[in-house]
Amino acid sequence: MKRALLLLILAGLPFAAVAQAQVAPGQKPPANLAATAAGAQKAPDPEAELQRALEESGNDRAALLRNLEDYLKRFPQAPRMTGIYRALVEAASQLNDTRRALDYAERIIALQPDDSAMMLLAVDLLEKLGDAPSLARAVGYVSRVLDWLEKTPPGEKPRRVSPEEWELERKKLRMSVYLIRGRLEMRRRDYDSAAADLAKSYSILPNAPAALRLGELAEIRKQYETAIEHYLVAFAMQEGFGSAQDRRGARLKLGNVWRLVHGSDAGLGDKVLAAYDRIAAEEARREQPERNADISDPFAVELRRLSGPPLKMAEMKDKVVVLNFWATWCLPCRELEPLIELAIQKYQRHAEVVFLAANRDEDETLVAPFVEREEIRGTVVFSDGLERILKVRAIPTVIVLDREGKIVYRAEGFAPEGFLEGLTTAIGRALVPRAPGAN
């Protein structure tokens, strides 16, 4: 009997069948023997097998890829199919197996058609392949994501995120997706569609990559002056909104087109500086809403101090206000400061004369340390739109407002000769009460 059992086992028959063959007809097998038989016939547990596949892979991505693919062959209806596909996408991507990663990414999209993140990953993989059919499929996926973005209302924002931050994040996403589709359409030589998408991306949030691509399109179409303007923007713009910036590439393209048009680099430097100043001002305005934007009366504005409550210009009525517009980077402003201090000393006993140092720095964090180091006199405030109301074109600019808010003195730039005399004379005249009915 033992020899027969051994032969049966070696022949590959299940142990349960052998055990049952040793029980007399009509008799039940012993309990322990029945349990052994049931265990031998039980199907493998998918969860346990998945855990084993992961553990055996360790940190080896190639092994993980093999083990999970083998697992899917054994368990084609595995309960964690989407998660397994995601792990396969990641492993294949790390192994630079683009087609394999794309295969599993598209399986996820088939299971979850609204997975926009996976669609964008598939777009990246298709763009790496770069052939015409792949690029066409990539455009299709991006279009699906854009359709979802444009038609879906904003979701519930996290409690710790302000409405402004939430809206900015949505704009960043739309900007990026239009940029991606425009780039793909350029590779497909669909230049009209590319131009429309790149312009849309830039209109949502100005960004250097869109400007650079628009410059390339204009250059392809031999619209060289337009190309120069776009390249200037791409070169001068600060990196932001998470978009990569190719400043060196923009500089090379800009120089090349400039020489095509002008024959040399002469004049390009001035053009770059002007573009930089313009774009820096635009970026500063975007980062911070214009204050007192709808106000035209200088006595209706509120000006922020370095600390504490804002200064209300309405409280300055019936006083003579001396406004000194300045910035930390302005060397002539520093040269003018000792003369301003002399005027302050002369009128320090006149409560009806107020000296305001109205700062115009874009980077406001520089102001407080500078004021402390240089011991700036007068009340330091931020200009906060007052420069627009008073049409300040350059700094330093010193303006005197009389008791009625009229400008009775204006000095632009640094001209020290006669400055102090002119300023104090204007203040003295503004202090003299007007005769009734005088204009």
3-class SS shares of the chain: helix, strand, coil, % to 5: 60, 10, 30
Mark which of 101, 116, 151 sits at the end of a domain. 151
Strands (E), 235-369: 302-303, 311-312, 320-326, 353-359
Q: Percent of the chain scored above 90 by pLDDT?
A: 56
Instruction: Report whether 78 contacts 101 (CB < 8 A).
Output: no
Residues 89 and 124 in one domain: yes
Query: How many Cα atoms sit within 13 Å of 47 on the Cβ side?
Result: 0
Give the number of other Cβ atoms within 10 Å of residue 303's Cβ. Answer: 23
Q: For residue 24, tell me if it sits in a domain.
A: no
DSSP-derived letter for residue 435 is P
Residues 421 and 307 in one domain: yes
Residues 314 and 361 in one domain: yes
Q: For residue 20, tell me if it sits in a domain.
A: no
Instruction: Report whether 324 contacts 356 (CB < 8 A).
Output: yes
The separation between the first and the last C-alpha atoms of the chain, rounded to the nearest angstrom, is 132
Q: Which residue has the tokens 């573009």?
A: 275
In this prediction, residue 300 carries a pLDDT of 87
Residues 137 and 214 in one domain: no
What does the block give as tokens for 350? 């006149």
What is the reported pTM? 0.59
What does the block give as tokens for 208? 């250097």
User: Measured between alpha carbons, how far is residue 73 from residues 52, 69, 76, 109, 178 in Å?
Assistant: 15, 6, 6, 20, 39
Mark which of 151, 186, 217 sits at the end of a domain. 151
Tell me: the pLDDT tens digits for 96-147?
A: 999 999 999 999 999 999 999 999 999 999 999 999 999 999 999 999 999 9
Q: For residue 116, tell me if it sits in a domain.
A: yes
In this prediction, residue 288 carries a pLDDT of 61
Residues 205 and 241 in one domain: yes
Residue 22: strand, helix, or coil:
coil
Residues 318 and 426 in one domain: yes
Residues 307 and 426 in one domain: yes
Q: What is the CATH number of the domain that holds 205?
A: 1.25.40.10
Residues 189 and 95 in one domain: no
Strands (E), 119-194: none
353: which strand partners? 320
Q: For residue 288, tell me if it sits in a domain.
A: no
User: Is the pLDDT reported for residue 24 higher than 50?
Assistant: no
Phi, psi angle pair for 155, to nearest 5°: -75, 180
Residues 129 and 79 in one domain: yes
User: Rounded to an integer, what is the distance from CA 77 to the centroid of its chain?
Assistant: 41
DSSP string, 31-59: HHHHHHHHHHHSPPPHHHHHHHHHHHHTT
Of the listed ranges 146-150, 366-370, 373-377, the one predicted with least confidence: 373-377
Q: For residue 110, tell me if it sits in a domain.
A: yes
Tell me: the pLDDT tens digits for 251-260?
A: 999 999 999 9
Q: What is the CATH number of the domain that holds 408?
A: 3.40.30.10
| Average pLDDT of the segment spanning 24-44 | 53
Q: For residue 26, tell me if it sits in a domain.
A: no
User: Is the pLDDT reported for residue 37 higher than 70?
Assistant: no
Separation of alpha carbons 78 and 95, rounded Å: 24
Separation of alpha carbons 121 and 118, rounded Å: 5
> Would you place residue 240 in the very low, low, confident or very high pLDDT band (cuts 50, 70, 90)?
low
Residues 173 and 260 in one domain: yes
Q: For residue 138, tell me if it sits in a domain.
A: yes
Phi, psi angle pair for 44, to nearest 5°: -60, 145
Instruction: Report whether 292 contacts 311 (CB < 8 A).
Output: no
In this prediction, residue 289 carries a pLDDT of 58
Residues 171 and 145 in one domain: no
Mark which of 280, 308, 330 sits at the end of a domain. 280
Give the number of other Cβ atoms within 10 Å of residue 162's Cβ. Answer: 10
In this prediction, residue 150 carries a pLDDT of 84
Which of 185, 173, 169, 182 shows the shortest CA–CA distance to 145? 173
Domain count, the chain: 3
Q: For residue 21, tell me if it sits in a domain.
A: no
Residues 117 and 171 in one domain: no
Residue 378: strand, helix, or coil:
coil
Residue range(s) defining the domain that contains residue 102: 48-151
In this prediction, residue 218 carries a pLDDT of 96
Separation of alpha carbons 172 and 30, rounded Å: 70
In this prediction, residue 343 carries a pLDDT of 95
